[in-house]
């Protein structure tokens, strides 16, 4: 976000004082800009275009299916565990800002528990505007039903909202408590769920949730979706999973 500083000078400045005043004023601007930059490290929407944090994970050359991920900063990409190859194949490819970079998965979660993974890339290979993005902040609190969010994926930024899992059956509620609406317009596995107000990272998309109604039609059993949503891994699980890399200074309340 561009910052404009305006001000006025109350007293005239003598010619002999202009150099000293200019130097002091420049120093003040530099320090103020540095402080602003530190504060901008808090969230994506204060550090620039949030779309620049979205990446793609490519497991095989020419593959038709690609997962998504979110660039945290300092060469770290956060994605869903089921998007990357298995533990025996830590190498993967990250497509970011039009560049395909080799990546190594340095931490794995599990699809059925904590569906997260961290991929390391060489940040010196990134274009300047990506390499110098603020380190992404993770929300200090988990989401609440009704909360507006923004789901970020490559080439797709879509507004959505948190919905209550209680609308689903007890079987779903017992396993998946953080759900969003707008299934057809939001990003798939590995996409980022951001708080619409502060811009901090609320979660990583994991899977689609559907419940069906079964019925008979022309003697055959048919089914149609009754409720649909997408489940994401919460900020609290992200903080725990990525604690060695995130640190408390990158939390946003």
Higher local confidence (pLDDT), 7 or 155: 155
Residue 26 has pLDDT above 60, yes or no: no
Q: What is the pTM of this model?
A: 0.77
Confidence of residue 22 (pLDDT cuts 50, 70, 90): very low
pLDDT value at residue 14: 37
Confidence of residue 36 (pLDDT cuts 50, 70, 90): very low
pLDDT value at residue 251: 62
pLDDT, tens digit, 9 for 90 and up, residues 113-166: 899 999 999 999 999 999 999 899 999 999 999 999 999 999 899 999 999 988
Question: Mapping DSSP to helix (H, G, I), strand (E, B) and coil, where does residue 222 land?
Answer: strand
Q: How much is the average pLDDT of 21-36?
A: 38
**% of the chain at pLDDT higher than 90:** 52
Please say whether the beta carbons of 253 and 235 come within 8 A. no
Residue 9 has pLDDT above 50, yes or no: no
Q: Beta-carbon neighbour count of residue 86 at 10 Å?
A: 10
- Left if phi > 0, otherwise alpha if psi is -120 to 50, otherwise beta: which for 127? beta
pLDDT, tens digit, 9 for 90 and up, residues 95-125: 999 899 999 999 999 998 899 999 999 999 9
pLDDT, tens digit, 9 for 90 and up, residues 185-232: 999 999 999 999 999 999 999 999 988 888 888 888 898 887 889 999
d(CA 195, CA 19): 46
pLDDT value at residue 232: 97
Confidence of residue 244 (pLDDT cuts 50, 70, 90): confident
Average pLDDT, the chain: 80
Residue 252 has pLDDT above 70, yes or no: no
Confidence of residue 17 (pLDDT cuts 50, 70, 90): very low
The encoded tokens of residue 17 equal 């004082």
pLDDT, tens digit, 9 for 90 and up, residues 43-74: 555 434 789 999 999 876 555 567 999 999 99
d(CA 203, CA 150): 11
pLDDT value at residue 24: 45
Contacts of 140-143 spanning 24+ positions with Cβ under 8 A: 140/200, 140/235, 140/239, 140/251, 140/252, 140/253, 141/235, 141/253, 142/178, 142/202, 142/234, 142/235, 142/236, 143/178, 143/193, 143/195, 143/202, 143/203, 143/234, 143/235
**% of the chain at pLDDT higher than 70:** 76
Q: Which of 83-87, 153-157, 176-180, 244-248 shows the lowest mean pLDDT across its residues?
A: 244-248
The encoded tokens of residue 243 equal 């604690």
Pinpoint the alpha helices (H) of 99-182.
128-131, 170-173
């Amino acid at each position: 976000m561009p910052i404009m500083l305006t001000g006025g000078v109350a007293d005239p400045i003598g010619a002999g004082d202009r150099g000293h005043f200019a130097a002091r004023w420049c120093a003040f601007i530099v320090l103020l800009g540095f402080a602003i930059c530190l504060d901008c490290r808090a969230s994506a929407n204060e550090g620039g275009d949030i779309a620049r944090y979205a990446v793609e994970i490519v497991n095989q050359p020419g593959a038709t299916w690609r997962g998504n991920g979110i660039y945290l900063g300092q060469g770290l990409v956060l994605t869903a565990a089921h998007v990357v190859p298995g533990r025996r194949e830590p190498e993967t490819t990250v497509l970011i800002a039009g560049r395909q970079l080799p990546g190594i998965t340095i931490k794995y979660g599990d699809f059925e528990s904590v569906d997260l993974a961290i991929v390391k890339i060489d940040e010196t290979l990134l274009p300047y505007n990506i390499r110098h993005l603020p380190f992404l902040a993770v929300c200090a609190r988990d989401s609440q039903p009704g909360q507006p969010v923004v789901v970020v994926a490559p080439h797709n930024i879509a507004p959505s909202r948190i919905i209550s899992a209680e609308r689903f059956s007890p079987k779903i509620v017992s396993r998946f408590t953080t759900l969003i609406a707008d299934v057809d317009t939001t990003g798939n596995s590995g996409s980022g769920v951001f708080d619409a107000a502060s811009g901090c990272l609320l979660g990583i998309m994991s899977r689609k949730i559907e419940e069906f109604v079964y019925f008979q039609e022309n003697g055959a059993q048919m089914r149609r979706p009754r409720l649909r949503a997408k489940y994401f891994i919460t900020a609290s699980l992200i903080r725990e999973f990525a604690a060695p890399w995130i640190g408390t200074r990158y939390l946003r309340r």
